[in-house]
Amino acid sequence: MALNPHLCSVVFFGEPFDQPWALSLIHSPCDTRQKEEFWDEVGSTGALFGGPWIILGDFNALSGPHEKWGGRVSHPQSNLGRLN
């Protein structure tokens, strides 16, 4: 299990799969600099495990400008692409 203020990850063994699987619960920071560090840590978590992985939570990210309602899009790029 890994734990920090924005990411909690747990590996489960047994059912419902025949192999271990991981679950990460996240709440991404809003600050751009903190967000970069956060996504690096999320990527490292996935690389360490290497098996089936479920990520749930508040990503504080847009998949594109079409998701923004009101105001301007200050950072049109998304970190969600890092998950693929």
- The string of pLDDT tens digits covering residues 60-84 is 877 777 777 777 766 655 556 665 5
14 in a domain, yes or no? Answer: yes
Instruction: State what percent of residues in the chain have pLDDT above 90.
Output: 14
**pTM: predicted TM-score of the whole model, two decimal places:** 0.72
Average pLDDT over residues 20-32: 90
**Computed from CA positions of residues 55, 60, 65, 70, in that sequence, does the dihedral angle turn out positive or negative?**
positive
Give burial (CB, 10 Å; 0-12/13-18/19+) of 55.
Answer: middle
- Domain of 21, in residue numbers: 1-56
Residue 9 CA to residue 71 CA, distance in Å, equals 34
80 in a domain, yes or no? Answer: no
27 in a domain, yes or no? Answer: yes
Domain count, the chain: 1
Phi, psi of 35 (to 5 degrees): -65, -40
71 in a domain, yes or no? Answer: no
48 in a domain, yes or no? Answer: yes
Give burial (CB, 10 Å; 0-12/13-18/19+) of 16.
Answer: exposed
Q: Are strands 53-58 and 7-12 parallel, antiparallel or unpaired?
A: unpaired
70 in a domain, yes or no? Answer: no
Output the pLDDT for position 76: 53
63 in a domain, yes or no? Answer: no
State the average pLDDT for the chain: 79
26 in a domain, yes or no? Answer: yes
